[in-house]
Amino acid sequence: MPKEPGWNVDVKSLSDRRLVEIAMEFEGSEHKELVESLRRELVARLEAKGITKQEMVKRIALGVPRGRRFNEIAKAWAGILGLSVEQFKRIADAR
């Protein structure tokens, strides 16, 4: 079967809110590259606003029970934030 065309989204033109909405909508889909590019753009914008990686990790992990879902989130976001999975988890669990 021929491969379906990939998504091409100009992430720079989207609002912060729309970045999050689209990333959440496509999370877990076959469009992993799209979700990752949306997340990278969001992280870049948050860093430009002075939000630290630690603050981002805390917000991403907020309310997520520790277990399989938390591990999936840590794996998905750690590299984008320039952290190891262990660093992500340590920051998320720090008080």
The token pair that represents 6 in the structure block? 């990939």
Structure confidence at residue 6 (pLDDT): 62
Q: Would the pLDDT of 2 be above 50?
A: no
Mean pLDDT computed over 69-89: 96
> What digits encode the pLDDT tens for the residues 33-63?
889 999 999 999 999 999 999 999 999 999 9
Helices (H), ranges, 2-95: 16-26, 32-48, 53-61, 68-78, 85-93
Sort 4 into a burial class: Cβ within 10 Å, 0-12 / 13-18 / 19+. Answer: exposed
pTM: 0.81
CA separation for the pair 53, 59 (Å, rounded): 10
